[in-house]
Amino acid sequence: MNIFRQRQGQTFPQNCYFYTETINKFQYLLKDDVFKQIIVDSLKYLTERKLVSIYGYVIMPNHIHLIWYVHQMNGKESPTGSFAKFTAHQFKKKLQELDPELLHKFSVDKGDRQYQFWKRDPLAIGLTSEKNMLQKLDYIHNNPVREKWNLCRLPEDYRWSSAGFYLNGVDEFNICTHYKQ
């Protein structure tokens, strides 16, 4: 499937977004692989049910970047809402089990919830062209090697990213689709 369509000589996206979700208060919750796996499990659920296609991703210590195509709603809920809700429930459950002290750092005084793991209003930018898509892929794949993070030497060495998939075609988590498909 080609995610872009031609309209009067210009290329426009069809529900394809560069999406950033950040942990509340910029805490490094995702530093632990157990919590990264929760992200992967949620993305796997959404892709297996053909609600989204993941064209690129990186899971950083306190945020994630995705390039995804939203195909359809998950019942009455958007895939982004399903993702945030599922991961928040799993984070809470895992922290209750492993680190109740850290769980307390996510407590909030809000009527509709006791904890908040994701910052409000994630960033979702519609992609307008293949060039724009490639710029965002380059950005997310190079995020782990930036001096601020220094999580690996080469982008493809970072396990929690689609960089290796684009370099060698291997997708350890089976969640990624090449953007040209």
Q: In the chain, what are the domains?
A: 4-168 (3.30.70.1290)
Q: Report CA 96 to chain centroid distance, whole Å.
A: 23
Taking residues 130-156, what's their average pLDDT?
Answer: 96
SS3 177: coil
35-91 pLDDT, tens digit each: 999 999 999 999 999 999 999 999 999 999 999 999 988 788 889 999 999 999 999
Identify the band that residue 7 occupies on the pLDDT scale cut at 50, 70 and 90: very low
DSSP state at residue 136: H
The percentage of residues in the chain with a pLDDT greater than 70, rounded to a whole number, is 92
Average pLDDT, the chain: 91
Q: Rounded to the nearest 10 degrees, what angle do helices 33-48 and 79-98 cross at? A: 150
Joined together, the tokens standing for residue 134 give 């490639």
CB atoms near residue 8 (< 10 Å): 5
pLDDT at position 181: 81
Query: Which residues touch 138 (CB under 8 Å, ≥6 apart)?
Result: none
pLDDT at position 14: 64
pLDDT at position 35: 98
Determine which of 1-15, 16-30, 162-176 has the lowest per-residue pLDDT on average: 1-15
Taking residues 142-147, what's their average pLDDT?
Answer: 97
Q: What are phi and psi of 129, to 5 degrees?
A: -165, 170
| Residues paired with residue 77 on neighbouring β-strands, in sequence order | 74
| pTM of the entire predicted model | 0.91
Contact between residue 103 and residue 35 where contact means Cβ atoms under 8 Å apart? no
Q: How far is Cα 78 from Cα 164, in angstroms, rounded to an integer?
A: 29
9-26 pLDDT, tens digit each: 444 446 799 999 999 999
Residue 8 has pLDDT above 60, yes or no: no
Instruction: Provide the sign of the torsion angle of the four alpha carbons 33, 39, 43, 45, taken in this order.
Output: positive
pLDDT at position 129: 87
